[in-house]
């Protein structure tokens, strides 16, 4: 297993565990209220989905034909983007933020910063997989 794959598997597993952990306060809140806090629901679901995505991408990285350091850098970029995203929505929940766009909360800044590393990491892995498929 390559370094990039290890990074993706470790982060994916941690992300799923974090998402499951966020399910505990969500369940507690839902026992007494008809709906959960929007940012908590987003943090819970995004951590679970991103964890699964990272585990899946660990397989895709195995097909990519770029140099190992390029794939490792891509995996790190993806992990950084995902961490920023989940951190942003978690911060919004903990700070009881309403509209993070209007408030320009700390969570909003983390969410905004998550886009570029997500895109760069995903595009490099996609290009590596396409390159391998065409050769």
pLDDT value, residue 81? 98
Spatial distance between the Cα atoms of 103 and 100, rounded to a whole number of angstroms: 5
71-110: pLDDT as tens digits: 999 999 999 999 999 999 999 999 999 998 889 999 999 9
Average pLDDT, the chain: 96
22-69: pLDDT as tens digits: 999 999 999 999 999 999 999 999 999 999 999 999 999 999 999 999
CATH number for the domain that contains residue 93: 1.20.120
- Domain span at residue 98? 3-134
Do 78 and 117 contact (CB within 8 A), yes or no?
yes
């Amino acid at each position: 297993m390559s370094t990039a794959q290890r990074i993706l598997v470790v982060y994916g597993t941690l992300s799923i565990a974090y998402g499951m952990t966020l399910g505990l306060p969500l369940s507690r809140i839902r026992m007494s209220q008809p709906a959960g806090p929007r940012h908590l629901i987003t943090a819970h679901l995004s951590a679970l989905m991103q964890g699964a995505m990272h585990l899946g991408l660990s397989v895709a990285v195995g097909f990519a034909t770029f140099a190992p350091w390029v794939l490792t850098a891509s995996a790190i970029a993806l992990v950084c983007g995902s961490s920023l995203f989940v951190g942003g929505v978690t911060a919004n929940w903990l700070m009881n933020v309403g509209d993070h766009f209007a408030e320009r909360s700390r969570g909003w800044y983390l969410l905004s910063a998550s886009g570029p590393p997500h895109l760069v990491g995903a595009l490099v892995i996609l290009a590596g997989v396409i390159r391998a498929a065409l050769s």
